[in-house]
Structures are given as C-alpha cells and as structure tokens.
Amino acid sequence: MTHLIKSATRMLLVLATLGLTAGMAVALPSSLPSSDRLDFVVTRNGEAIGTHRYRFTRDGDRVKVDIQTEIDFKVLFVPLYRFRHVSQEVWDGDKLASLKSSTNDNGEPVRLEVKAVDEVLAVKGGETVEKVDAKAVPASLWNVVSVKRNKMVGTVDGAILKTQATHLGEDVVKVGGQSIATEHYRVTGDYQRELWYDRTDGTLVRVRFTASDGSQVEYVRAARGAKPLG
C-alpha cells in the first residue's frame, strides 16, 4: 500500500509539473494579422513617396518580423531624399528577443543590433553598447504593446527613447474604401507619433507625425500590397 501511495504521489507531481509547464508557455504577441503581412503607403503632405512593409513568420512560440521601408522624395523629378531600411525582429511573446537592421539614410549607412540578455536589451549601434530594460520595445510600432510601455529603442540608430502614450478614443480609418474601427493613441516624449490600431485584432492601421521640415508624414495601410519603388 505504501508503495502505491508513493507511486501515486510521484504521478501527481509529474502531472502538476506538466500542467505548470503548459501554463507557462509563451503566448504569441498580439497584433498579428491573419494574412501574416501588413503593407503601408508612405505619404508626405498627401503625396505618396514610398512603401513600408511587415512580414510575419510564426516559429513555435516565437514570431519573426521582417520589415522593409523604401522612400524616395523628389521635387520636379529631382531626387532630394532616399531612404532604405531593412530589419528583422524576433519576439518571445510580448518581449523582444533580438533585432538586426541595416539602413541607408540618404547615402549614410547605419547598422544596428539588439539582443535580449537576461533582463536587459543590449543595444549595439556602431562601437557603443547601451543597455535598457528588456520590456523596452522597438519603435517599429506594429505591436500594440508599443503604447503600453514607456521606453522604445530606435530601429535605425538604437537611441533609447522615453515615451508616454495617451488614448485619444475610438476612430474610424478608411482603407481601400473600407471603414476600420480603431483605437487612436498619441505617443509623446522623445518619440512623437499618432497611432491607430484595429479594434478587432490590434493590428496597426495608420501612423502620422510631423517631420523635421514641418511636413506631415503618414503611413496608411494599403488595401493590397504596394509595389516597391525604384
């Protein structure tokens, strides 16, 4: 009888451990579109100047996000500004595991590498390495968790940005003739953006900000995949 009791006890402990392990499984991040892609048209004062794309790949409990931005600003067909940005993020649930980006900012190359180490993110831009709380999120904005944290990491130069988000209420954004119910936020501090996220699935719908030259720049989700420039 004693042997049976010990065996039963061991079995219960094993089952409890398995249950705990299953309960601790990392949930996939929110804001993942069912199509595994988001496409945006970039406009300046209402004129299209580029594209911005996200591609999502689920890998077990992780999600890989490939991001590509292409901007060409011209006046009377004369090129004034060219921007190319490629990055890949890896997320564990609502935390960033790693980020690598390569940027050509009007002829100036910039590289960035971010990696989660214990409870911090090691941010390497150039020869310097900075550390920030692992709950900081990249300023790629696709994940609605961006408005729930108070620190971001610049995805081009790795700058540590202190931010605060204010919920401005519900709003309707038109995408390809379709009206999408959204939650509207304003991010202030070291990084300033207005953001709209789909109320149904939390996906990013629209981004708006004022550029350094005073122009209004918007990223508006395309109804279909936008073609790359150049």
Q: Is the confidence at residue 114, as pLDDT, over 50?
A: yes
Q: Is the confidence at residue 146, as pLDDT, over 90?
A: yes
Average pLDDT score over residue span 50-70: 95
Q: What count of other Cβ atoms lies within 10 Å of the Cβ of residue 129? A: 12
Rounded to whole angstroms, the Cα distance separating 43 from 109 reads 23
Q: What count of other Cβ atoms lies within 10 Å of the Cβ of residue 217? A: 18
Strands (E), 60-177: 62-75, 78-92, 95-105, 108-117, 120-125, 128-133, 137-138, 151-153, 160-175
Q: What count of other Cβ atoms lies within 10 Å of the Cβ of residue 158? A: 25
Strands (E), 8-77: 37-44, 47-59, 62-75
- The pLDDT tens digits for 84-104 are 999 999 999 889 999 999 999
- The pLDDT tens digits for 183-229 are 999 999 999 999 999 999 999 999 999 999 899 999 999 975 444 44
Q: How, if at all, do strands 137-138 and 151-153 pair?
A: parallel
- 19: pLDDT confidence band, cut at 50, 70 and 90? very low
Residue with tokens 């299209």: 48
Average pLDDT score over residue span 104-112: 95
CA angle 194, 196, 199 (to 5 degrees): 155
Rounded to whole angstroms, the Cα distance separating 193 from 140 reads 11
Half-sphere exposure of 124 (CA within 13 A, CB side): 10
More confident residue, 124 or 78: 124
* 8-state DSSP, 2: H
Average pLDDT score over residue span 5-29: 41
Rounded to whole angstroms, the Cα distance separating 3 from 98 reads 49
Residue with tokens 């929110």: 30
- 76: pLDDT confidence band, cut at 50, 70 and 90? confident
CATH 2.50.20 fits 26-221, yes or no: yes
Contact 97, 78 (CB under 8 A): no
- Phi then psi for 2, rounded to 5 degrees? -60, -40
DSSP helix/strand/coil, 7 = helix
More confident residue, 222 or 28: 222
Q: Where are the domains of the chain?
A: 26-221
